A and B are shown apart, each in its own frame.
Chain A
Amino acid sequence: DVKVTQSSRYLVKRTGEKVFLECVQDMDHENMFWYRQDPGLGLRLIYFSYDVKMKEKGDIPEGYSVSREKKERFSLILESASTNQTSMYLCASSSPRGSDEKLFFGSGTQLSVL
């Protein structure tokens, strides 16, 4: 079974803190994604990566950065957390070699910034 593992289920941070969200996949997928999910707004793409050390901005990259030093790991960084970054964060991976290129999602990290 494909597994996408997010390091934390729940996180509580203070405004201004630097926050790291970690994601690891075990299927040797080339593509990895970070989304945030908010009530009424659905899934919004923050950043994605199609290869090691490669990254592309999604729809809402402001206030975030990412790191992909190894194929299986994709990190989302909040340089200085703000209350409007309180959200559910979902990591996903996919392979362009798959017939349907479906996204495999982790269980999410619920981040609260106080």
Chain B
Amino acid sequence: QKEVEQDPGPLSVPEGAIVSLNCTYSNSAFQYFMWYRQYSRKGPELLMYTYSSGNKEDGRFTAQVDKSSKYISLFIRDSQPSDSATYLCAMRKGSGGSYIPTFGRGTSLIVHP
């Protein structure tokens, strides 16, 4: 079993839909949680960064962490065709642990007009 599990999709939704992207993990030492977005033929770029449990909102994006369930989510409201990309979750341990994140496989999202 991989440390971080993520459904590769593809997930296809109509423009304006609310999108939910999810990852589960097995290592309870993970403290920092990230979402990267990767457009076709580009490198990933950091979209959201959260520490421990709770929610974080940035515009149309909300990152949610539930450490008790070892489950993280990224919600996209009012999705746009420009949101079409691969979304990778990533996580790493806290102080004293490696600063190198462990990535999920990525979920391909397609938002059609």
- Residues on A close to B: CB < 8 A? 4, 31, 33, 40-43, 45, 48, 58, 90, 92, 94, 96, 100-108
Instruction: Kindly report which residue of chain B lies nearest to residue A100, judged by CB atoms.
Output: B49
With A45-B100, A102-B46 as known contacts, state yes or no: A107 contacts B105, CB within 8 Å.
no
Instruction: Kindly report which residue of chain A lies nearest to residue B39, judged by CB atoms.
Output: A107
Chain B residues in 8 Å Cβ range of A108: 41-43
**Within the complex, which residue of A40, A92, A100, A101 is in contact with B43, where a contact is CB–CB below 8 Å?**
A92
Chain A residues in 8 Å Cβ range of B99: 31, 94, 96, 101
Instruction: Kindly report which residue of chain B lies nearest to residue A50, judged by CB atoms.
Output: B99
Chain A residues in 8 Å Cβ range of B43: 4, 90, 92, 105-108
Chain A residues in 8 Å Cβ range of B6: 42
Residues B46 and A42 in contact, CB atoms below 8 Å apart: no
**Within the complex, which residue of B8, B101, B106 is in contact with A103, where a contact is CB–CB below 8 Å?**
B101
Task: Point out which of B36, B43, B45 has the most chain A C-beta atoms below 10 A from its C-beta.
Answer: B43
- Residues on B close to A: CB < 8 A? 6, 8, 32, 34, 36, 41-46, 49, 88, 99-101, 103-106
Q: 7 closest pairs, A vs B, by CB?
A: A105-B43, A42-B105, A102-B46, A43-B103, A100-B49, A105-B44, A106-B43
Chain B residues in 8 Å Cβ range of A45: 100
Known A94-B99, A102-B49, A107-B42; 12 more pairs at CB < 8 Å: A4-B43, A42-B104, A43-B44, A45-B100, A90-B43, A96-B99, A100-B32, A100-B49, A102-B46, A105-B43, A108-B42, A108-B43
Residues A105 and B45 in contact, CB atoms below 8 Å apart: yes
Chain B residues in 8 Å Cβ range of A4: 43
Instruction: Kindly report which residue of chain A lies nearest to residue B42, judged by CB atoms.
Output: A107
What are 24 A-to-B residue pairs whose CB atoms are below 8 Å? Answer: A4-B43, A31-B99, A33-B100, A40-B8, A41-B105, A42-B88, A43-B44, A43-B88, A43-B103, A90-B44, A100-B34, A100-B49, A101-B99, A102-B34, A102-B46, A103-B36, A103-B44, A104-B45, A105-B43, A105-B44, A107-B42, A108-B41, A108-B42, A108-B43
Q: With A and B bound together, what is the CA distance between A25 and B88 in angstroms?
A: 22
